[in-house]
């Protein structure tokens, strides 16, 4: 089981200098608001994603009046241990695994899958289709070695086709490639969704036995025809707007619970349970199919569950076998036996257990 054995964080938000060792089991971060709990979880997330779960710009991650933020970690895996480091400066980023400089972001994050549930996680359900596409694409990234190349080629061809449309040029030179990579991308997304669908009912049954979640993939054009037919049908409108109107870049996951759309009918509590089920299903798929154990982060998330569902989640996680990090304020403690506890105050950390 992969886990973060220790971490060092320098000039990352309000964390000026943190060094600590973690348990491979459940780790609890406590402290008042603004103490640095979320920042530490964000640093872990950044190590596995090279982006933040609460900011769109990396400038926000660098401490005030500092040139760079640095996150280093020692990772223990089943057969080997290794060292990861990311230095994020305002104009550049440097990545290292052990002593090797890594040039590709994809090659770097492939070493450490990290999943996070936080205040913005509701976007997966309540936000636009782009959030659900990213969710499915990230699932596929850790399942299929060729996915990153397919996605990159699709994005390149889409950009070129859109440029031709904006310039009033013919798209014939790009249509064949666009259909080719659209087909490959759709096949991998559907394969990833099949893996999720196989494990999701069991996960949901453990978390909330009365919820029945259905997940369907909308491929970005009418199911009755082909992508080529859709491109031909919308050709005039595409020239008018200067953009491609059909394809995987307009795909979506359609979520329904007990036969009704999740967005319009699910309660806030049900949305939290559905999010948990989806993310934990992805973690289970990565583990079972790709032998990759994701690090799980819960940023003040469990406190939003009622006692019954929180108890069901603890029971599930206790048998799941993944390293997990939880944050909670001192005023709203989590009632669970943790393997390690840490107190944060003014960006400093102290081990309590």
Domain boundary among 238, 261, 288: 288
Domain that residue 45 falls in? 1-113+293-353
Asked if residue 231 and residue 211 are part of one domain, the reply reads yes
pLDDT tens digit sequence for 193-221: 999 999 999 999 999 988 899 999 999 99
Alpha-carbon distance 310 to 228, whole Å?
A: 48
User: In angstroms, what CA-CA distances link 76 with 21, 111, 290, 295?
Assistant: 12, 11, 17, 12
* Number of structural domains in the chain: 2
Asked if residue 269 and residue 301 are part of one domain, the reply reads no
Sign for the CA dihedral angle at 201, 44, 317, 124 comes to negative
pLDDT tens digit sequence for 233-264: 999 999 999 999 999 999 999 999 888 899 88
Alpha-carbon distance 194 to 199, whole Å?
A: 9
pLDDT tens digit sequence for 46-101: 999 999 998 888 888 998 989 999 999 999 987 789 999 999 998 999 999 999 99
**Domain holding 268: CATH number?**
1.20.1050.90
What is the overall mean pLDDT for the chain? 93
Which pLDDT belongs to residue 59?
A: 85
Cα angle vertex 193, ends 303, 139, to 5°?
A: 65
Asked if residue 322 and residue 190 are part of one domain, the reply reads no
Q: Which residues pair with 254 in a beta bridge?
A: 216
pLDDT tens digit sequence for 301-316: 888 888 899 999 999 9
Q: Is the confidence at residue 280, as pLDDT, over 80?
A: yes
Domain boundary among 288, 310, 332: 288
Percent of the chain with pLDDT over 70: 99
Which pLDDT belongs to residue 347?
A: 84
Asked if residue 108 and residue 59 are part of one domain, the reply reads yes
Question: CB under 8 Å to 212, separation ≥6 — which residues?
Answer: 204, 257, 258, 259
Domain boundary among 240, 262, 288: 288
120 within domain boundaries: no
Which pLDDT belongs to residue 40?
A: 95
Asked if residue 311 and residue 281 are part of one domain, the reply reads no
216 within domain boundaries: yes
Q: Which residue has the tokens 């040039």?
A: 103
User: In angstroms, what CA-CA distances link 133 with 69, 139, 237, 254, 341?
Assistant: 29, 10, 24, 11, 35
Q: Is the confidence at residue 330, as pLDDT, over 80?
A: no
* Residue with more model confidence, 335 or 222: 222
Which pLDDT belongs to residue 353?
A: 64
| pTM, two decimal places | 0.95
Asked if residue 242 and residue 146 are part of one domain, the reply reads yes
- φ and ψ at 341, to 5 degrees? -130, 140
Mean pLDDT within 117-130 = 94
Asked if residue 284 and residue 299 are part of one domain, the reply reads no
Alpha-carbon distance 21 to 248, whole Å?
A: 42
């Amino acid at each position: 089981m992969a886990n973060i054995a220790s971490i060092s964080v320098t000039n990352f938000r309000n964390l000026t200098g943190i060094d600590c060792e973690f348990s491979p089991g459940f780790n609890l971060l406590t402290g008042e608001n603004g103490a640095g709990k979320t920042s530490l979880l964000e640093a872990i997330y950044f190590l596995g994603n090279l982006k933040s779960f609460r900011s769109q710009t990396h400038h926000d991650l660098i401490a005030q009046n500092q040139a760079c933020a640095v996150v280093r970690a020692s990772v223990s895996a089943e057969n080997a241990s290794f060292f990861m480091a990311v230095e994020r400066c305002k104009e550049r980023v440097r990545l290292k695994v052990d002593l090797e400089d890594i040039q590709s972001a994809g090659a770097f994050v492939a070493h450490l899958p990290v999943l996070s549930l936080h205040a913005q996680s509701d976007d997966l359900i309540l936000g636009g289709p782009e959030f659900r596409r990213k969710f499915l694409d990230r699932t596929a990234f850790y399942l299929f070695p060729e996915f990153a190349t397919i996605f990159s080629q699709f994005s390149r061809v889409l950009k070129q086709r859109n440029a031709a449309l904006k310039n009033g040029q013919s798209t014939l030179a790009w249509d064949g490639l666009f259909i080719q990579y659209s087909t490959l991308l759709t096949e991998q997304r559907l394969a990833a969704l099949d893996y999720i669908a196989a494990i999701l009912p069991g996960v949901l049954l453990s978390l909330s036995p009365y919820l029945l979640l259905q997940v369907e993939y909308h491929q970005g054009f009418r199911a009755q025809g082909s992508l080529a037919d859709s491109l031909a049908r919308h050709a005039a409108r595409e020239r008018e707007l200067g953009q491609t109107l059909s394809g995987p870049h307009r795909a979506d996951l359609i979520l329904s619970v007990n036969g009704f759309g999740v967005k319009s009918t699910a309660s806030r509590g049900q949305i939290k349970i559905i999010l948990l089920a989806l993310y934990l299903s992805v973690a289970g798929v990565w583990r079972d199919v790709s032998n990759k154990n994701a690090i799980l982060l819960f940023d003040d998330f469990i406190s939003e569950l009622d006692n019954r569902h929180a108890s069901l989640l603890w029971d599930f996680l206790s048998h799941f076998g993944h390293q997990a990090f939880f944050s909670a304020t001192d005023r709203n403690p989590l009632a669970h036996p943790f393997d390690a506890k840490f107190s944060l105050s003014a960006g400093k950390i102290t081990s309590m257990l």
